[in-house]
Structure 1
Amino acid sequence: MVFAAGAYSGKKQDFQIDQSGHAATRMDVIVNHPAKPVVLMLGAYEPTVWNIGWTPGTRVVGILASGYHRQAVAGFSQSTTVMTSTYDNRGACGYFYVGSDQQAGLNPLSRKLFGRPVSMVYPATDGQIVIGAAIPPGARVETSADIRPESYIDRSAPKAGEAGLVEAVNKGILRKSNQADMQAWVDAVARSRPAPDTPPVAGQSKPELPRYSNAYVVLKPFTYPAGLYGAHSAVFFIPRGVPQPQGDPGHSTVYDFNTLRCQGGRCSSDGY
């Protein structure tokens, strides 16, 4: 039997497994189909670690993991043949991921590789997939400790998202910013521009400075953690003499004292 499973992404993790700059996600898969040997076609767009488990009597004889970014399989038995073919690794089988609008290529690829179509597609829910029959309460699930999900963590990359920022603060690479940092930026921008030849206006107050809750000052060479998008974005101040950080700031706002340029969606026409 050939079963396909997956989604655009699994449950987001705080680490990376490749150089895509995307935080890894995780899929926990339990296969419950003891009647016949099983081949799995697992697909996700985002870099994903697939952790495989099975019920007693179930035999997973082959796994094809695919997606756009790196796919890694853990927990499988040593008797299981595993192959990965992704866009990033230019795999011989091309790439696919499992989604509501991504089903068309599954049967042709399954027939080409395994001589039969996919028997059933199982979409993931928050990184959880049960393939086959529902798991009875208290049922034993087997897995192999030979290859653990944690073995795929890229130790050279910072943790992703908020965890990466906290780690950088703890290491003294970043510090939390305050309103004095924002005021220093406004003053620096003002000094770089000619004073306007206009008289002051009675009762006119200075514009209120922006206030950010997730803002940092870069103190040392720094690499932006993956996943700084949307609600997970941040604000960074780069003091004069501190090098431009590596990596992708995502949707974050960056105030660079070296160039007096503000980059990001929160920048105003006034430079802040």
Structure 2
Amino acid sequence: MKRYAAWALACLVMASANAGDTKKFDFVPEPGSNGTASPAGCSFSELQLPEKLAVFATGAYGGKPAGFQIDQSGHEATRFDIAVNSPDKPVVLMLGAYEPSVWNIGWSQGTQILAVLVSGYHRQAVAGLPKSTPIINSSYDNKGACGYFYVSDSTMGALNPMSKRVFGRPVSMVFPVVNGKVVVGEPLAAGTALRTSSDTTIASLRDPSAPMAGPAGLEDAVRKGLLRPASAADAQAWANAVAKNTPDSDLPPVAGQGKTAPRAPTFYGGYVVLKAFTFPAGLYGANSSTFFVPKGIPAPQGNPGHSTVFDFNTLACGGVGCNH
């Protein structure tokens, strides 16, 4: 009788996941997909879990780029959109990513999300659930009571031991993420309505002391007067400055052209640094850029990622484009 009473109380408390201050959850599954403060310690000691319960795990190294930072790791946050569809059985979630990540959650009618264990190497944050939903947030960066894990093919062996420790049973199912999206539970039928809570929004999780990330961060720096778009003249000025200070750079004249100009570096979409500047996170791959630092301007701070930096103060080039 006591067990039944505890289960009834838990259902009453968690019913707010399907009512109250909620709004429509916009979610379109990707092809190939299945469609608050942490409690003290590594357990939900005040939550009585029913015997009929699904432990669902999902995650990846990282989700889709979020365009902002949620911590001071220097990494752009990633975003996971999760649709939970389990109307026949209450659910607890295990969410894990290496990169700092925002887990944006919605659910179908009748789905009860009783608790969430979220983990990773860098900071993790959960959006879309009512504040009444118990959450353990345990990462390497916050020295969490549960240690840390993330969900990938190479880390599956850590999931069942963690699930048994926290929820007293193994993981029921792991759901792979496709392009930052995942359906957890039963596949979503066409037209299934999803809801999400306004208690914690994605916008509220951004670290206001950190710059915007990736290309958005560079555009923001241009608006603030910290950068300006670079031109071919800036690249030629660099080549001329290097040639002037290189003893063996004396080039012969070419008939009809006069003295040969030093070869300017090739770049696409670069910038000239105008003031003290910190690189935004996420300047990797296609998001990398080229930066020219004029004499008298301090070298940018932070991580340039895969970007190339031409510093007129030292005539040193740093980055992947220095030999091109």
TM-score by length of 1: 0.93
CA distance in 2, matches of 1:179, 1:56: 58
Displaced runs of 4 or more, over 6 A: none
Determine whether 1:70 maps to 2:123: yes
Report what 2:314 is aligned to: 259
- Please report the RMSD computed on the Cα atoms of aligned residues, expressed in angstroms: 1.8
Say which of 109, 123, 128 aligns to 1:56. 109
8 Å contact 1:13–1:23 — kept in the other structure? yes
Provide the residue aligned with 1:88 in structure 2: 141
How far has the Cα of 1:246 moved from its partner? Answer: 1.3
Tell me the TM-score normalised to structure 2 length: 0.78
Choose between structure 1 and 2: higher helix proportion: 2
State the alpha-carbon separation in 2 of the partners of residues 199 and 266 from structure 1: 23
Structure 1 residue 210: Cα displacement: 2.5
For residue 168 of structure 1, give the secondary structure of its aligned residue in structure 2: helix
* Amino acid of the structure 2 residue aligned with 1:47: P
Q: Distance in 2 between matches of 1:193 and 1:143?
A: 62
Output aligned runs, 1:229-268, within 5 Å. 229-268=284-323
- Alignment match, 2:268: 213
Does the 8 Å contact 1:61/1:79 carry over to 2? no
Alignment match, 1:119: 172
2:283 aligned with 1:228, yes or no? yes
- Equivalent residue, structure 2, for 1:98: 151
Inter-CA distance 69–224: structure 2 relative to 1 (3 Å threshold): same
| Residue matched to 1:2 | 55
Structure 1: distance between partners of 2:116 and 2:172: 15
Deviation per CA, 1:21-62, whole angstroms, max 9, x where unpaired? 111111111111122221100011111100111111111111
The 2-side partners of 1:195 and 1:209 are apart by 17
**SS at 1:185 equivalent:** helix
Q: Offset at 1:200?
A: 3.5
Could you say what secondary structure the match of 1:41 adopts? strand
Report SS of the residue matched to 1:109. Answer: helix
Structure 1: tracts of 5 or more residues without a match: none
Q: Which amino acid aligns with 2:318?
A: Q
Report deviation, 1:79.
2.9
Corresponding position of 1:136: 189
Report the Cα offset of residue 263 of structure 1.
Answer: 0.8
Q: 2:206 aligns with which of 153, 163, 166?
A: 153
Distance 1:73 1:195 in 2: 59
Partner of 1:79: 132
